[in-house]
């Protein structure tokens, strides 16, 4: 038996939406696992400290100007990494918007903003990066979805629609690119504690309601998400494609 290879040493990764929260910590995790990581953000200034932190720990990272809602930025960003590193092995589609809306209050602007980032932006960044992966015959694409793309959660109509789209897009792209050595998977987390979610999760009533729905009895951490990303991004996960890995403490098992 061949032993599973979980190493990312020498690999090149892009993480979108890397300036804060989950994306920020995914850059740190991928770099710690040995990858050179392009930290994508709308402004390179937003990830300068993060890149310095990776380098101070002995890793390799680069700041990448990347606005997933801008087609030119997406194309130029992918090409910049190819020019600098010669290839892209891993893409982590982390950039995304959240938000609660009563369905009757959703405006067309709300809809367009959510879809432009969570679905349209994700697709065209994936397309831009996958071209070189398909040519090389190797790639790992991991998208951040949500448990809200798998089960109904009130006040999440457009968010859930966007993440449900990500889940089905994951399956189709997996089928198209499997013959070319490119795997495409998604991760569906539950509520993850980050600086951006702390205000809601620190509300006792909200926290109690959420925790009552998570059988393991705790919120997720960025480390929980990173563990799933590292697995799906590794050579060991070569037979895993078209799947949505639930990192939800059992929420959707009920």
Identify the CATH number of the domain in which residue 234 sits.
3.40.50.720
This prediction's pTM: 0.98
- Is residue 176 in a domain? yes
Is residue 159 part of the annotated active site? The answer reads yes
What pLDDT sits at residue 2? 86
Average pLDDT in the chain = 97
Domain that holds residue 89: 12-194+221-249
What does DSSP assign to residue 120? I
- Is residue 209 in a domain? no
Q: Residue 78 corresponds to which tokens in the numbers above?
A: 């992918």
- Is residue 201 in a domain? no
- Is residue 199 in a domain? no
Number of domains within the chain: 1
What pLDDT sits at residue 99? 87
What pLDDT sits at residue 98? 93
- Is residue 236 in a domain? yes
Q: Collect all residues with Cβ–Cβ distance below 8 Å to 31 and sequence separation of at least 6.
A: 37, 54, 57, 59, 60, 61
Helices (H), the chain: 21-32, 48-56, 71-85, 108-115, 122-136, 157-177, 198-201, 204-211, 222-233
Mean pLDDT by 10 residues, the chain (254 residues): 94 98 98 98 98 98 98 98 98 96 97 98 98 98 98 96 98 98 98 92 95 97 98 98 98 97
- Is residue 74 in a domain? yes
Find, among 229, 177, 193, the residue nearest to 31 by Cα: 229
What pLDDT sits at residue 49? 98
The C-alpha atoms of residue 137 and residue 130 are separated, in whole angstroms, by: 10
In the block, residue with structure tokens 């590794």: 234
- Is residue 229 in a domain? yes
What pLDDT sits at residue 249? 98
**Which one of the listed residues 123, 138, 159, 191 is annotated catalytic?**
159
């Amino acid at each position: 038996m061949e032993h599973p290879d979980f190493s990312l040493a020498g690999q090149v990764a892009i993480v979108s939406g890397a300036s804060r929260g989950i994306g920020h910590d995914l850059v740190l995790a991928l770099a710690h696992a040995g990858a050179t990581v392009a930290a994508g953000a709308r402004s390179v200034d937003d990830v300068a400290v993060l890149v310095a932190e990776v380098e101070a720990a002995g890793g390799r990272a680069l700041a990448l100007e990347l606005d997933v809602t801008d087609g030119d930025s997406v194309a130029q960003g992918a090409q910049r990494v190819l020019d600098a590193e010669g290839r892209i092995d891993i893409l982590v589609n982390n950039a995304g918007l959240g938000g609660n809306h009563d369905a009757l209050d959703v405006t067309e602007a709300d809809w367009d903003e959510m879809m432009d980032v969570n679905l349209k932006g994700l697709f065209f960044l994936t397309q831009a990066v996958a071209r070189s992966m398909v040519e090389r015959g190797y790639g790992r694409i991991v998208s951040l979805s949500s448990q809200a793309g798998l089960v109904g959660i009130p006040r999440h109509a457009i968010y859930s629609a966007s993440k449900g789209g990500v889940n089905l897009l994951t399956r189709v792209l997996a089928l198209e690119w499997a013959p070319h050595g490119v795997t495409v998977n998604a991760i569906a987390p539950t509520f993850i504690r980050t600086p951006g979610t702390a205000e809601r999760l620190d509300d006792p009533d909200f926290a109690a309601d959420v925790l009552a729905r998570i059988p393991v009895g705790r919120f997720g951490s960025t480390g929980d998400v990173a563990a799933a990303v590292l697995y799906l991004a590794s050579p060991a996960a070569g037979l895993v494609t078209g799947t949505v890995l639930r990192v939800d403490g059992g929420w959707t098992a009920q």
